[in-house]
Chains A and B, each alone.
Chain A
Amino acid sequence: MTLTILDQVRGVASDLFGLPVDRIRAESSPETIEAWDSTQHLNFVLALEEKFGLQLSPEEMEQMRNVGEAARLVEDKLPRDPR
């Protein structure tokens, strides 16, 4: 079974914020995850860059207001399947 981008981003967030993956939802954000402060936000961005092999700009970093938005941004940045 292939994991969706959202599932993979949830996995990254789970590892970083020290929460079980089933507690990370698309709506999870700094308001709902206590450990998600500005430094951890940067760590989250860096972890996504490493996981998906892409580079995000500070402006994109600012747009990631929750896990779902992060997944959407990653999806947009990944090269499209040519099929």
Chain B
Amino acid sequence: MPIVIEPYREEHQPAVEEFNQRLRSGGAEPDLVFFRFAKQRWLPPTEGAGLYQEYFVALENRVVRGGYALKHQDFFFADGITRNVAYYHHPLSEGIINKSYAAVGGMLLKDAMNRSPLLYCLGMGGYDRPLPKMLVRLGWAHFPVPFYFRVVRPKRFFREMQALHTSPSRRLLLNLAAFTGTGWAGVKTIQGLQRLRAPRPAPFTMEKIEDFSDWIDPLWERAKNHYAMTAVRDCQTLRTLYPASDTHFTRLRLRRKGNDIGWAVVGERRKDEKYGTMRVGSIVDCWASPEDALAVVRAASAALVDNGVDLIVSNLSHLLWARALEHAGFLNSPSSFIFAAGKNLSALLQPFAESQSRIHFTRADGDGLPRNF
């Protein structure tokens, strides 16, 4: 039977459930499941909105053999044009458990390319995963979005950080570091030195706000030309992404001498076994002209420290934002958060090696908002 790809509708839900069941019993990783419901809980399509999601399923007769999602969003480019770009995410193919369906992965991606010529992927869990491997072979332009962390409570960090506890001897050393205070001293020294070497931002004020309002738009307009590519961050977009009803986010407004210079959204991540029982805060999203990035990053960190987190993490792609994280005492670590641009999109970013450092991507540009927070 030929395979056809269609928008995911309510009538497909039982077949999606069966698909998920087959993946589970076929030994796929437990988090590899397609959306149970056809109606998007996050960013459903609404009349005239540029920011929305669509789901698609690959059907063989009436059996689901795969699916994927597109998140459409307006992006501003260095040529001054705003274009709608789609983020390809959650591709799942029966090919991961049954080789007869090995072609489905490519068909899903081709379908997405036909529907949205400007396409990107983000995250993906590292270059050893099947999707980034495929994208690299297809000639997509790519780079890992730098990952940064700042340890707020070293004792808990050394005890809880599961990724560090890879062997019994290492576990013993880390426990010693936690209990004797040597770990605390080491981390505080490194982070402190970075902050000492950093330039001092001019004085600014930070205010926690309940909702984003009109002051956002002039700030967006003033700063957008500094970026080679950035998701539109105007007031309407921010209200869609971070509605006032979502109290999990902390929204910060930064001003200097009464003028708005930037904003940040921070939040505490869901529990994740790799972080043990630590409370992990995240700089989810942020905006400013790059020269004010340090002020924004410092304010965001301070807000998370006030909220009582043990560790702060962030992925920011722009070179000056990444440098601001370093100046704020963050440490760099290998990143599995990969940005890959399809050929039409990367053509807008040529020369890619130069544009790469001026692309503004944050954790908010993926699918992570509802999943990780």
- Interface, chain A (partner B; CB < 8 A): 37-43, 45-46, 55-59, 61-63
On whether the beta carbons of B138 and A58 are closer than 8 Å, the reply is: no
Give the complex CA separation of A55 and B106 in angstroms: 15
Select from chain B the residue with minimum beta-carbon distance to A41. B106
- Interface, chain B (partner A; CB < 8 A): 2-5, 58, 95, 102-103, 105-111, 114, 133-134, 137-139
Q: Which 5 A-B pairs give the minimum distances between C-beta atoms? A: A58-B107, A42-B106, A58-B111, A58-B110, A38-B102
Could you say which of A42, A56, A59 contacts B2, with CB atoms under 8 Å apart? A59
On whether the beta carbons of A59 and B3 are closer than 8 Å, the reply is: yes
Kindly provide the distance from the CB of B24 to the nearest chain A CB, expressed in whole angstroms: 23
Select from chain A the residue with minimum beta-carbon distance to B109. A42
Kindly provide the distance from the CB of A40 to the nearest chain B CB, expressed in whole angstroms: 8
On whether the beta carbons of B103 and A62 are closer than 8 Å, the reply is: yes
Give the complex CA separation of A61 and B2 in angstroms: 11
A contact residues around B106 at 8 Å (CB): 38-39, 41-42, 61
On whether the beta carbons of A59 and B4 are closer than 8 Å, the reply is: yes
B contact residues around A59 at 8 Å (CB): 2-5, 107
On whether the beta carbons of B108 and A58 are closer than 8 Å, the reply is: yes
Kindly provide the distance from the CB of A81 to the nearest chain B CB, expressed in whole angstroms: 27
On whether the beta carbons of B137 and A58 are closer than 8 Å, the reply is: no
On whether the beta carbons of B103 and A41 are closer than 8 Å, the reply is: yes
- Which of B103, B110, B111 has the most A CB atoms < 10 Å from its CB? B110
B contact residues around A57 at 8 Å (CB): 110-111, 114
Other A-B pairs beyond A42-B106, A42-B138, A58-B3, 14, CB < 8 Å? A37-B102, A38-B95, A39-B137, A41-B103, A42-B109, A42-B134, A43-B138, A46-B138, A56-B110, A58-B108, A59-B2, A59-B3, A62-B103, A63-B2
B contact residues around A46 at 8 Å (CB): 138
Give 27 CB contacts A-B under 8 Å: A37-B102, A38-B95, A38-B103, A39-B133, A39-B137, A39-B138, A42-B109, A42-B110, A43-B137, A43-B138, A43-B139, A45-B110, A46-B138, A55-B114, A57-B114, A58-B3, A58-B5, A58-B58, A58-B107, A58-B110, A58-B111, A59-B2, A59-B107, A61-B103, A61-B110, A62-B107, A63-B2
